[in-house]
Structure 1
Amino acid sequence: MSDDPTDPFRAQPEPRTQRMARPAQPTERFEHLTERFAPPTAELAPPTEQFAAPTEKLARPTDPHAEYRRQADLFFAGQSAPRIAPAAPPQPPAGPLIFDLRPWHALWGVSVLCLLAALFSDSMFGWMLLAVAFGVGGWWAMRKRVGWPPDVRETLTRRRLAPPTPAGAQPPAAPPIPFRPMTVSELFTGSLRIMARNWPTLVGIPVALLFGVVLVVYAFAMAIGHFVFDTASSLAGGSLLSGDLMSNMMILYVVFLVVIAAIGLPADALLIALSVSATEDAVRGRGIRFGAVLRRARRRIFAVCRLTLVFYAVIFLTDIVMMFAVGAAVMAGAPEMLNYLALVAALGVFAFGVLFSLSPIVLVVEGRGVFDSLRRSATMSKPAWGRILGIHLLWVVCVFPLVFGGFFVGFNVLYFALALGVMIAWVRVLQVLVYTDLRMRQEHYEQQLIAEWTQNTGRMPL
């Protein structure tokens, strides 16, 4: 062939598209690959009966609270919802009734015991006043046909000391507080309403516990007094300034403080946990039962003891600082500064108590640790510190008649236990309501309370 480009017989090059075209491949070459990578056929599929999923066993469980949430949503939307019947109370054991014990029988029995105590006690006037008070209370309860609270009635029914409650005799429960941010008057009326409905747990148990603690401490103090008197009489000349007597008195004083701390600290922690747990049950619509409340209180008693030790440590450190401040003021020749120092220390301790007053409630209700409860209480109380301070001061004014009444009764163990039990129960119930009010203002806590009240009582809190 000629290489001359003008030669018409020269071989022309092949077009680019034709030169780059992929030749057709025969389908027979890929038939074995198609068979190899084909999807599994019906004969390779696993048997469905053998590997079928257990639908009944793995089915999603039904939500037991769905109906209550639906009713709460309808309530917030302003609509009505059907009532859910509450669970039937447990049936009492069968058997004849031993005695139909009424509240006035118990009050008259306490009045008779006070009369007997007046015959063998130095403070005869105080015991006589208490006997008259309990006697008048029994007469008023009989006139008004006052009945037992549900928890006491169930306990007496199981012991065949009261007839069972007829079906439908109990009126429908109403919440003790409005499920919304409350005013100061609503806080106080709500706390009194809770105490009146649940006085056996909130007041009766603290009074009985305090009465026993006071008797033990009084007996121990009397034993120490007799020991000191006998030791002083046996020493030469009975000198009260003897070295042996002073050392013995210091040892006994330390032992007395240790015994009081060993008795008072767990008792104080138990009363705090008991009052908070019972008030939470009342607010959430749960029936208050002695056994359930005591079990929950015992589970948190050691945590409450640690928290109480923190408060005692603050007071103890304040006393130590005051001792050094008093010594410095006396050495500086400025005794008039002692009054200002005492006032500043008292205000500081009071402010600390108000700021962290909700920490026991946080520890019991939310199950937090000690320092986490203190931090949570400070966070909640700071925005409403003035309001909480005013509530505590108003409570002090309200309980002042109980303190003032002690001057008329004198040193009376029963009155001391009654007054202190009422004061402890009232302040704890009030603090729980303050905690609930702050959570409703800051966290919309009322939605959870309404849902739990509906679940526990079977009715919406209208």
Structure 2
Amino acid sequence: MNDTPGWASPGSAPSDPSDGREDTAIPRPAGPADADEPGAKWSKEQPPAAQWSPPTAPAGGGGPVPPQQPQQNWGGGWGAPAPTAAKPGVIPLRPLGIGEILDGAVSTMRTHWRPVLAISITVAVITQLATILVQRFLVPTPQDFDPDASPSEALAQTADSVQASLLGSVPALLFTLAATTVSSALLTIVISRSVLGRGVTVADAWHEARPRLLPLLGLTLILLTMVVAPLAIGLTPGVLIGGVGGAGLATLGGLAAIPVVVWLAIRFSLASPALMLERRGVIESLKRSAKLVKGSWWRIFGITILVAILTWLITMLISLPFGLAALLFDGDFIGSIMRGETPEYSWGFLIVTGIGAVIGAAITYPISASVVVLLYVDQRIRREALDIELARAAGLSGQSPAPGGQPSGS
């Protein structure tokens, strides 16, 4: 297998020579991506130096970087890697630590805030509007629970309430799925350019991402099915049995399904950037993610959990003041709770909480998307010497030497 990185435009087919566009994003490895191989190996053959040149270099200027042999990985990825490396954009071109991945995510928001906020705020507003309209008009009014109901009757009432809420929320979930798919595609393009130190407008990101939207939506549906299927298998026997015993069995089945869901989610967590940046098909992207994650599952799991906790804390810190303001704005909401009644959501309550949710999503969407893309870049640097190709793509004359006089490609 040849793991030598090749070249592909960000998220779409290479631009037609007649339109004046140039390839500017993450290089794609040449050769089959899903060929089985015992562990990650370095390619001993690098592309001929004469065929590589910086995409934006003027004619006759900016000579190519001579091929360099990658050196061993710097630690396990949690500590600080080698201190010297080329940094054309938001990350240094070498294996990344967790701090550098988070710093790269924040730097992307700070450096390219116009397209990032334009994308994330638009998507957040659309999803929140859909959620508000669904909660106001489609979700049925929750029924009051009978305090004198037997355990089986209380369980049946709870199941009916949950079922009605889920069915009423389906339209909002579909809107959210479509909107987050578009935002993920556009943000992936923005982040991939930021690695090379290049800016991008929303129009440019849309031009690059548009051909990949349908495959990305298909990939998202497959990943969603992978999450739902194990849970459905674990819960179905208990649901069919019913009663208190069935509820206990469903709980055990759901708990047993959670490790399977987590394992699948991490194993295929890098499929989206692979699909967008390497122009792969849906199945090939899933195989590509599995290959990149292999041997690093626990590391990627730890980083993913850490980022999930951080984004949850950010969301809570932003949403809490708006939630309190909504409660004060809608006095009847608190009154209903005090009277022991099921509260109804008024327009004021929904709008105030929706504003807080939009602000929180506008911050957390780009952070989550950046971490996924930077994890993908980091894994390719560790396994395929992508840092050398990124340095060439960024138009650098060479990489800063790592300690010992060797290049920092790891």
Q: Report TM bin, short chain.
A: 0.5 to 0.7
In the TM superposition, 1:24-423 aligns within 5 A as 65=53, 70-73=63-66, 174-224=88-138, 256=168, 259-327=171-239, 333=245, 338-405=250-317, 406-410=319-323, 412-423=353-364
**Shift of residue 447, structure 1, vs aligned partner:** 1.0
Q: Deviations over 1:234-268 (max 9, x none)?
A: xxxxxxxxxxxxxxxx99985x5553354223212
Which residue identity is paired with 1:279? I
**Shift of residue 388, structure 1, vs aligned partner:** 0.2
Quote the Cα distance in structure 1 between the aligned partners of 2:263 and 2:51.
46
Which residue identity is paired with 2:53? H
State the SS of the aligned residue for 1:454: coil
Aligned match of 1:433 in 374, 379, 396?
A: 374
Quote the Cα distance in structure 1 between the aligned partners of 2:136 and 2:244.
42
Quote the Cα distance in structure 2 between the aligned partners of 1:352 and 1:191.
24
Q: Deviations over 1:194-230 (max 9, x none)?
A: 22111222233212221133124423442346xx78x
Q: Deviations over 1:16-44 (max 9, x none)?
A: xxxxxxxxxxxxxxxxxxxxxxxxxxxxx
**Shift of residue 371, structure 1, vs aligned partner:** 0.7
Partners of 2:234 and 2:253 within 8 A in 1:
yes
**Shift of residue 334, structure 1, vs aligned partner:** 7.8
- CA 72–308 in structure 1, closer or farther in 2 if over 3 Å, else same: same
Partners of 1:439 and 1:445 within 8 A in 2:
yes
Name whichever of 290-299 and 324-333 sits farther off: 324-333
- CA 395–446 in structure 1, closer or farther in 2 if over 3 Å, else same: same
Output the TM-score relative to the length of structure 2: 0.60
Output the TM-score relative to the length of structure 1: 0.54
- CA 273–75 in structure 1, closer or farther in 2 if over 3 Å, else same: same
State the SS of the aligned residue for 2:93: coil
Quote the Cα distance in structure 2 between the aligned partners of 1:389 and 1:270.
25
Partners of 2:239 and 2:247 within 8 A in 1:
no
List gaps (5 residues or longer) in structure 2: 1-49, 55-59, 71-86, 142-162, 324-351, 401-410
**Shift of residue 460, structure 1, vs aligned partner:** 6.0
Quote the Cα distance in structure 2 between the aligned partners of 1:260 and 1:391.
29
Which residue does the alignment assign to 1:57?
A: none
* Residues matched between the structures, number: 280
- CA 251–288 in structure 1, closer or farther in 2 if over 3 Å, else same: same
Which residue identity is paired with 1:417? V
Quote the Cα distance in structure 2 between the aligned partners of 1:251 and 1:418.
29
Which residue identity is paired with 2:107? R
Quote the Cα distance in structure 1 between the aligned partners of 2:398 and 2:355.
42
Which residue does the alignment assign to 2:394?
A: 453
**Shift of residue 323, structure 1, vs aligned partner:** 2.7
**Shift of residue 431, structure 1, vs aligned partner:** 1.1
Partners of 1:266 and 1:301 within 8 A in 2:
no
State the SS of the aligned residue for 2:217: helix
Name whichever structure is richer in helix by fraction: 1
- CA 407–68 in structure 1, closer or farther in 2 if over 3 Å, else same: same
Which residue does the alignment assign to 1:12?
A: none
Which residue does the alignment assign to 1:58?
A: none
Quote the Cα distance in structure 2 between the aligned partners of 1:187 and 1:64.
28
- CA 187–262 in structure 1, closer or farther in 2 if over 3 Å, else same: closer
**Shift of residue 278, structure 1, vs aligned partner:** 0.6
- CA 75–253 in structure 1, closer or farther in 2 if over 3 Å, else same: closer
Quote the Cα distance in structure 2 between the aligned partners of 1:446 and 1:65.
15
Quote the Cα distance in structure 1 between the aligned partners of 2:248 and 2:164.
35
Quote the Cα distance in structure 1 between the aligned partners of 2:383 and 2:68.
21
**Shift of residue 331, structure 1, vs aligned partner:** 7.4
Which residue identity is paired with 2:171? V
List gaps (5 residues or longer) in structure 1: 1-61, 78-172, 230-249
Partners of 1:454 and 1:461 within 8 A in 2:
no
- CA 460–194 in structure 1, closer or farther in 2 if over 3 Å, else same: farther
Q: Deviations over 1:330-361 (max 9, x none)?
A: 67948655544332222221221111000000
Quote the Cα distance in structure 1 between the aligned partners of 2:322 and 2:243.
44
| Greater relative contact order structure (CA < 8 Å, 6+ sep) | 2
Partners of 2:120 and 2:183 within 8 A in 1:
yes
**Shift of residue 287, structure 1, vs aligned partner:** 2.0
